[in-house]
Amino acid sequence: MNDTPADYLVDFGVTVTKTGGGTFTAIFDNEYAQADFDGTAVERTAPMLMARTTDVSALAKGATLTVNSVAYTIRRLEPDGTGFTRVILNS
């Protein structure tokens, strides 16, 4: 069986609420990230969504989205050319 990204939205998607109303389904990831800057470790999480491009095409940098009762600000949108867009968030 070949799962498509849309299949993963059904299985693993969460509801995302747009400021001003409206919702869509996306896959939420908040992985741990660590970087080393001149010997100083910087640790943080890196929240992001993977969503259908049609669901996020009207969104812009700085817009607020709520996922699992937590508000995030859009840092950038990265369309992947396959109909899905990675939405990079700031918490």
Beta bridge partners of 62: none
d(CA 58, CA 55): 8
d(CA 64, CA 60): 9
Q: Which helix (H) or strand (E) holds 34?
A: strand 23-37
Largest CA distance in the chain: 47
Residues 26-69 pLDDT 10s: 999 998 878 888 888 888 788 999 999 999 999 999 999 999 99
Q: Could you tell me the pTM of the whole model?
A: 0.84
Q: Sorting pLDDT into bands at 50, 70 and 90, what band is 2?
A: low
